[in-house]
Structure 1
């Protein structure tokens, strides 16, 4: 058993977080048997983890987002002393999903920007950012494909028996091909779930003036179509205080598939995207320490001889992650909701 600033964290806590990464909206009774404890014990544990800002569940754009909407990774260079003020202003922007404070180099801030379309994303880059004082330069890498994103990253605390008991299944091809037009009820559900992904059906029904059965059908429809996904996130302490590094790399077009497949299976990989610009691959890794950056890069380039890493951006502190505000310890301290749909 360990602790994070006075909060003791047990193996059961880690197993609970891992289970919720796999089944974010599962009921406590569904998780009780695989984890070998009572539902009430799990409810108490989760309330304690959430209250301490150590773990939380929320809604994120699903796999359909990259096909029909826009994602960009924006690298900002700031004037000396301007970064704190920019962070405060950018945190309030609904288009800015994630803000990473980076080690001085090619960028001072790395943003993940989500928008319903290219025009709206362009307006954010050319109008919103242009009006913010203290920015020296802006580099915008548009995502052409997203192979891995944060909701697929796992703690790997559960054993094979527990995983089997959770009954995880993959979406069907028919579900992946479905496209939806969102109405006001869909959008109200999304707005509520980006703040708290475990809101009860009855409360969601009350907020949307519908029934629990309607909410259940809507959520199934949105998740099956890839519009909506759920993520269980955690403070850096629960993940072992990893070092976050974003690699920009180049690979010949013929090898892109192999590059993405190789990166996607790495346990430390949180994000793999195809991007525009001089580099055509962006990957974010959670590694053990600074020395591990070089080891991982060397191993990757040995396995992928046509891959050339062009930049390594080390994250110092995540200020905002998919709309959730974090302190310097990586604990959640608030929400500035995103609305990319």
Structure 2
């Protein structure tokens, strides 16, 4: 069972995923060992985990797309299993609406993304229709979502200070190895990361802090559905008049229940994912949209029925992490 204390710890780690336990403990009025013990219990039960995620500058170096698939009756489960095995498909969900499956896709280059789009799908079982939209701008991504469990003053106590981004940063083999280890355990100690990658703890820390400061990659805290307390995931595919796109994108990004907001190239030009307690909340946003951007159209509405994979983590029916397929978020420098 996830307690109120657990929810506070999880919120602290959403804000600062590798915060020292002493810092989290000070914000919560507890001891460091108590906080560490509660996290180890959550992680051990696979109810929560920390993993690498695209950063705010990711699109400057990598590529991303949203893919919707329809499948033959009876083939959907087999299709989902194949999709989950592919590293480039970060999140795989069964959804309501005109499509059966929603995927977010990551690639380290444009050519790699094109290869995935053109070569992967003919080999998949039961696919009857495919729709691909390319992500062109991020207004908000899931790593920026916060549960709001902590009071603002306590949340500020665990916030990390942003560091200046290194100029012209390029990932190399060591960075790739460190990211793969962080995908397994985003709070692995510097010593453990160093041993796994054959470097000193100091080198491991310096490299990780450097590529996190670059903005291409970040870390995020994810949880099973038990920690969501009844929240439901809804995605709106919107077509916004060009003069309003940025304004509407920033509006949705500022909403506390917005999980994702991205400008895309496709039949729609804005994709918004919301976590709501009641599906009627989506209609309230649509009414607001009509006021803010006359002429906007809702292309589709879809609710997540079940998420099978989230940011590389394979999930069971209750959303617990079973294993991880690391994402190809980077390209090694030659």
- Give the alignment's TM-score, normalised by structure 1: 0.93
Question: Does residue 261 of structure 1 match 2:253?
Answer: no
Which secondary structure does the structure 2 equivalent of 1:42 belong to?
helix
What is the rounded CA distance, in whole Å, between the counterparts of 1:15 and 1:135 in structure 2? 42
**Structure 2 residue aligned with 1:212, among 190, 201, 215?**
201
**1:69 offset after TM fit, Å?**
1.4
Match of residue 128 from structure 1? 120
**Structure 2 residue aligned with 1:324, among 303, 313, 321?**
313
Question: Does residue 302 of structure 1 match 2:291?
Answer: yes
Structure 1 portions without partners, runs of 5+: 1-6
Question: Does residue 80 of structure 1 match 2:60?
Answer: no
What is the rounded CA distance, in whole Å, between the counterparts of 2:285 and 2:32 in structure 1? 40
Question: Does residue 337 of structure 1 match 2:326?
Answer: yes
**1:268 offset after TM fit, Å?**
0.9
**Structure 2 residue aligned with 1:46, among 30, 39, 57?**
39
Which secondary structure does the structure 2 equivalent of 1:297 belong to?
helix
**1:178 offset after TM fit, Å?**
3.2
Deviations along 1:106-133, one digit per CA (max 9) or x if unpaired, are 2100000000111111111111111112
- Map residues 1-341 of structure 1 onto 2, 5 A cutoff: 7=1, 9-103=2-96, 105-170=97-162, 172=164, 175=165, 178-341=167-330
Out of 307-316 and 326-335, give the one that drifted further: 326-335
Deviations along 1:168-202, one digit per CA (max 9) or x if unpaired, are 43455xx2x73322111111001111221101100
What is the rounded CA distance, in whole Å, between the counterparts of 1:277 and 1:209 in structure 2? 44
Deviations along 1:243-275, one digit per CA (max 9) or x if unpaired, are 211111111222111111100011111111111
Out of 12-21 and 159-168, give the one that drifted further: 159-168
**1:53 offset after TM fit, Å?**
2.3
**Contact persistence 1:236–1:329 (CA under 8 A):** yes
Question: Considering only aligned residues, what root-mean-square deviation do their CA atoms show, in Å?
Answer: 1.5
**Contact persistence 1:69–1:117 (CA under 8 A):** yes
Structure 2 portions without partners, runs of 5+: none
Which secondary structure does the structure 2 equivalent of 1:154 belong to?
coil
What is the rounded CA distance, in whole Å, between the counterparts of 1:10 and 1:277 in structure 2? 43
- Give the alignment's TM-score, normalised by structure 2: 0.95
**Contact persistence 1:60–1:194 (CA under 8 A):** no
**1:289 offset after TM fit, Å?**
2.0
Deviations along 1:16-55, one digit per CA (max 9) or x if unpaired, are 0000011101121121111111111111111111122221
**1:326 offset after TM fit, Å?**
1.5
**Contact persistence 1:324–1:332 (CA under 8 A):** yes
**1:308 offset after TM fit, Å?**
2.1
What is the rounded CA distance, in whole Å, between the counterparts of 1:222 and 1:340 in structure 2? 12
What is the rounded CA distance, in whole Å, between the counterparts of 1:203 and 1:197 in structure 2? 11
Which secondary structure does the structure 2 equivalent of 1:100 belong to?
strand
Which secondary structure does the structure 2 equivalent of 1:194 belong to?
helix
